[in-house]
Amino acid sequence: MFALPLLVASILNGLMTGAVYALIAVGLTLVYGVLHIINFAHGAILTAAMFAAFLAFRAGIDPYLAMVPLALLFFGLGYAMQRLVIGPASHGDDRNILLVTLGLAIVIENLLLAAFKSDTRTIEVPYGFATIDLGFTFVVVPLAIGFAVSCAAAALLWVLLARTDTGKAIRAVAKEKLGAALAGIDVAHIYAVTFGLGAACLAVAACLLLPTYYVNPRVGNAYVLVAFTIVVLGGMGSIAGAIAGGLFIGVVESLSGLFFGESLGQLGIFLIFILVLLVRPTGLFGARA
Amino acid sequence: MTRMEVKVSRRRLLEGGVAFGGALALPGHLKAQPGTVKVGILQPVTGAVAFEGTHGRIGAEAALKQINDAGGIKSLGGARLEMVFGDARSTPEGGTAEVERLAAEGVSAIVGGYASPICLAASQAAARYDLPYIVDVGVADQIVQRGLTNTFRFAPGFGIVSKQAIDNLVTLNDAAGKPAKTVVLVHEDGLFGAGLTKLMQAELPKRGFEILDTISHPTPARDMTNVVLQIRAKNPDLVIPSNYYVEFVLLERAMQQQKIRPKGVYCVLNGGASNYRFVKEFPDAAQYVMDCNHWHDPTNPAAQALRKAVEASGEVFTYNVSLNYSAVLLLADAIERAASPDRKAIIAALATSTFAGHIMPYGPTKFTNGQNEGAAPVNTQVQDGDIKVIFPSRYADAKPVFPVPA
Q: Which of helix, strand or coil describes residue B81? A: strand
Residues with Cβ within 8 Å of B235's Cβ and at least 6 positions away in sequence, in order, are B182
For the packed helices B301-312 and B50-69, what is the interaxial angle rounded to 10 degrees? 120
Mean pLDDT of B291-308: 95
Q: For residues A181 and A197, what is the distance between their CA atoms, to the nearest angstrom? A: 20
Q: Which residues pair with B368 in a beta bridge?
A: B371
Q: Which of helix, strand or coil describes residue B83? A: strand
CA nearest B254 in A: which residue? A129
**Predicted pLDDT at A224:** 85
CA-atom Rg of chain B in angstroms: 22
**Predicted pLDDT at A282:** 84
B263 and B382 belong to one structural domain: yes
**Predicted pLDDT at A1:** 58
CA atoms within 13 A on the CB side of B128: 10
B243 and B335 belong to one structural domain: no
CA atoms within 13 A on the CB side of B368: 5
Q: Where do the DSSP E strands lie in A16-72?
A: none
pLDDT value at B308 more than 90: yes
B163 and B152 belong to one structural domain: no
Q: Do A129 and B246 touch (CB under 8 A)?
A: no
Do the domain assignments include residue B101?
Answer: yes
CA-atom Rg of chain A in angstroms: 19
Q: What is the CATH number of the domain that holds B254?
A: 3.40.50.2300
Q: For residues B36 and B302, what is the distance between their CA atoms, to the nearest angstrom? A: 26
Residue A260 identity (one-letter amino acid): F
Q: For residues B232 and B226, what is the distance between their CA atoms, to the nearest angstrom? A: 10
Q: Do A214 and B258 touch (CB under 8 A)?
A: no
Question: What is the total residue count of chain A?
Answer: 289
Q: Using pLDDT thresholds of 50, 70 and 90, give the confidence band for residue B110.
A: very high
**Predicted pLDDT at B263:** 95
Q: Is the CB of residue B253 less than 8 Å from the CB of residue B285?
A: yes
SS (H, E, C) B13-50: HHHHHHHHHHHHHHHHHHHCCCCEEEEEEEECCCCCCH
Structural domain boundaries enclosing B194: 159-293+378-391
Q: Do A113 and B216 touch (CB under 8 A)?
A: no
Q: For residues B240 and B180, what is the distance between their CA atoms, to the nearest angstrom? A: 12
Q: For residues A216 and B15, what is the distance between their CA atoms, to the nearest angstrom? A: 31
Can you tell me the ipTM of this complex? Answer: 0.82
What are the per-10-residue average pLDDT scores of chain A (289 residues)?
A: 83 93 94 88 96 95 96 97 90 82 92 86 85 87 94 92 94 91 94 95 96 89 87 87 92 87 79 86 71
Q: Residues of A at the B interface (Cβ-Cβ below 8 Å)? A: 2-3, 6, 9-10, 13, 17, 95, 98-99, 110, 113, 117-124, 128-129, 131, 137-138, 140, 143, 212-214, 216-218, 222-223, 226, 254, 257-258, 261-263, 265-266
pTM given for the model: 0.81
Do the domain assignments include residue B131?
Answer: yes
For chain B, the domain total comes to 2
B367 and B382 belong to one structural domain: no
Distance of CA B28 to the CA centre of its chain: 29
Angle (CA) A281-A284-A289 rounded to 5° is 50
B58 and B81 belong to one structural domain: yes
B308 and B275 belong to one structural domain: no
Most confident of A220-229, B106-115, B155-164: B106-115
Q: What is the DSSP letter of A176?
A: -
Residue A104 identity (one-letter amino acid): L
DSSP element (H, E) containing B383: strand B378-383
**Predicted pLDDT at B218:** 85
Closest CB from B217, B233, B257 relative to A6: B233
Q: B55 to chain A, minimum CA–CA distance in Å?
A: 10
Do the domain assignments include residue B133?
Answer: yes
CA distances to B32, B103, B108 from B340, rounded to whole Å, are 15, 17, 9
**Predicted pLDDT at B13:** 47
The pLDDT tens digits of the residues spanning B214-248 come to: 999 987 788 888 899 999 999 999 999 988 888 89
Cα maximum dimension of chain A: 61
Do the domain assignments include residue B337?
Answer: yes
Q: B229 to chain A, minimum CA–CA distance in Å?
A: 7
Cis peptide upstream of residue B361 (ω within 30 degrees of 0): no
B103 and B243 belong to one structural domain: no
Q: Do A122 and B249 touch (CB under 8 A)?
A: yes
**Predicted pLDDT at A287:** 62
Q: Using pLDDT thresholds of 50, 70 and 90, give the confidence band for residue B344.
A: very high
Do the domain assignments include residue B365?
Answer: yes
**Predicted pLDDT at B190:** 79
Q: What is the DSSP letter of B181?
A: -
Q: Using pLDDT thresholds of 50, 70 and 90, give the confidence band for residue B32.
A: very low
B109 and B203 belong to one structural domain: no
Number of Cβ within 10 Å of residue A124's Cβ equals: 15
Burial of B342 (0-12, 13-18, 19+ CB in 10 A): middle
Residue by residue, DSSP assigns B220-275 as S-S--HHHHHHHHHH--SEEEEE--HHHHHHHHHHHHHTT---SEEEEES-TTTT-
Q: A230 to chain B, minimum CA–CA distance in Å?
A: 16
Higher pLDDT, residue B291 or A276: B291
Q: Is the CB of residue A201 less than 8 Å from the CB of residue A23?
A: yes
B169 and B282 belong to one structural domain: yes
B78 and B194 belong to one structural domain: no
B123 and B95 belong to one structural domain: yes
**Predicted pLDDT at B28:** 43
Q: Do B227 and A262 touch (CB under 8 A)?
A: yes
Q: Is A238 left (phi over 0), alpha (psi -120 to 50) or beta?
A: beta
**Predicted pLDDT at B193:** 84
Look at the alpha carbons of B5, B10, B13, B19 in this order and tell me if their dihedral is positive or negative: negative
**Predicted pLDDT at A44:** 96
pLDDT value at B113 more than 80: yes
Q: For residues B94 and B121, what is the distance between their CA atoms, to the nearest angstrom? A: 9
pLDDT value at B88 more than 50: yes
B322 and B350 belong to one structural domain: yes
Q: Using pLDDT thresholds of 50, 70 and 90, give the confidence band for residue B171.
A: very high
Comparing CA positions, the residue from A38, A35, A33, A73 lying closest to residue A52 is A73
Torsion of CA A42, A47, A53, A56, to 10 degrees: -120
Do the domain assignments include residue B406?
Answer: no
CA distances to A212, A250, B209 from A122, rounded to whole Å, are 8, 23, 35
